[in-house]
Amino acid sequence: MRLNDPSLLRVDSYVDGNWLAGKRRFAVTNPATGEVIANVADLGPAEVTAAIDAAVTAQREWSKRTAKDRAMIMRMWYDLVMANAEDLAVILTTEMGKPLAEAKGEVAYGASFIDWFAEEARRVCGDVLETPQADKRLLTLKQPIGVFGAITPWNFPIAMITRKVAPGIAAGCACVLKPAEQTPLSALALAELAERAGLPSGVMNIVTGMNAPAIGQTLCDDNRIRKMTFTGSTEVGRILMRQSAGSVKKMSLELGGNAPLLVFDDADLDKAVTGAMMSKFRNAGQTCVCANRIFVQDKIYDAFAKQLAEATKALQVGNGLTEGVEQGPIIDNQGLAKIERHVEDAIGKGANLLTGGKPHALGGTFFEPTVLTEMTSDMQLFREETFGPVAALFKFSDEEDAIAMANDSEFGLAAYLFTENAARLFRVSEALEFGIVAVNTGIFSSEVGPFGGLKNSGLGREGSKYGIDEFLEIKFVCVGI
């Protein structure tokens, strides 16, 4: 791995401003090549407790600093992230696999949360309320919730950290973060830059380790952790909720998705195909908001399928560090096996394969970009999130039919629709049971929009002006005069 600044490649955990090697190590591999790129500290519950100790001490002083002081440090952190964007993207691509161009986009996207919440820190305001009694004055204060635990996934190893950590530290909280064991190097590089920016010791602690259940349990069991924030599967989210119930922690959960993408017969077909490609094949389909079920109105179904298949065949697959590559590898063999299972199940139940459908000739965990038609609701892919480069096309007859099929899921994170009819735009957006609806576009994420889902897709919102509220408590003050 060639970096302009090799010191960004940290392999030890970061606790209370110190880099801890620990007694054990675990290997981080490049999913494109299978090569070991680093051996990282493998910490456990004892070190997590030490990190919580440090965060509790640091938070007391951090919360006393003015919002302007916190914002200035965060602005310096943002500047350093952007100045080192090239190296951060190389680290990200090497450990996660996504194409370098996408990795650079993620670095900028991740940095935007640091920038945004540095500004939002100075806009945390209470209220003076109207009182029904002349001898009292009523006030509300917004105060930091305290120390929070964060557990982040491998598919966006920079953005999922900054989207959680930035609002928390802007609000005056401190954190203990467990990054995914597949992608710890991006997290440690962010910690290195935060330290250079002047973030006080103990405000952000990064605990790397292979035993995620034990680390999560320790965070949930400790009463001093007042909030848990997690991005990952619904199954693990439920476990964290149960484990946190004893101390009644505040929860932010961004869980599983099963995103529908609806294409109506009045849509701009070129725009719809482009949007579907952006949504479906970004990060090799390994995002919670990738279009998992593509519903196309019967009158344009064949034309859409043909155009989508042609665009899919043209995708360049390979090592994300190679120029021109548009799709990298699947993160691991477990992810690859799920994709194969979904494709085999669909074809076995009558789906038609237009392109792809099998592991790529490159070997390893590469999989061919795939388009399936004639999909039905009895296939596994309709209920389960594939998390891979498989575009599955379902046919619908009318608007009511499309909405019913889209909402027929336990999940409700993101949905997409393509139409040139303004009335339909509003009708369908309001009827879809999803926390995010993107209209006539395949990409919607930014630091300005609130990110989060309904139903089994989670609780709370990240990003936007609402994101910092997840790390604040409202205190009511009644003053007699």
Q: Which of 252, 321, 450 is nearest to 2 (CA)?
A: 321
Q: Locate 330 and state its tokens.
A: 């699947």
- Give the per-residue pLDDT at 197: 98
Residue 360's alpha-carbon distances to 17, 255, 317, 329, 357, in angstroms, are 44, 29, 8, 9, 9
Sign of the CA dihedral running 376, 378, 383, 386: negative
254 is catalytic: yes
CA dihedral 291, 297, 299, 302 (to 10 degrees): 30
Nearest-angstrom CA–CA distance, 428 and 423: 9
- Residue (of 67, 399, 436) closest to 257 by Cα position: 436
Closest to 389 in 3D by CA, of 337, 323, 339: 339
Identify the pLDDT of residue 205.
98
| Residue 14: predicted pLDDT | 98
Q: How far apart are CA 255 and CA 411, in angstroms?
A: 9
Is residue 267 within 8 A of residue 300, CB to CB? The reply is: yes
DSSP assigned state of 200: P
pLDDT at 321: 97
Question: What pLDDT was estimated at residue 1?
Answer: 83
Residue-level pLDDT at 316: 98
CB atoms within 10 A of CB 105: 17
Q: What are the structural domains, with CATH classification, of the chain?
A: 6-255 (3.40.605.10), 259-447 (3.40.309.10)
Select which of 106, 120, 254, 374 is catalytic: 254
Per residue in 97-123, pLDDT (tens digit) is: 999 999 999 999 999 999 999 999 999
Alpha helices in 209-332 (DSSP H): 212-221, 234-244, 269-281, 301-313
**Who contacts 255 (Cβ-Cβ below 8 Å, separation ≥6)?**
231, 232, 233, 234, 237, 288, 411, 413, 453, 456, 457, 458
The one catalytic residue in 288, 368, 462, 470 is 288
Q: How many CB atoms lie within 10 A of CB 430?
A: 9
Catalytic site includes residue 344: no
Give dist(CA 371, CA 361) in Å, integer.
17
pTM: 0.96
74 by DSSP, 3-state: which? helix
Low-confidence ranges of the chain (pLDDT < 50): none
Confidence at residue 326, expressed as pLDDT on a 0 to 100 scale:
97
Which pLDDT value is given to residue 386?
97
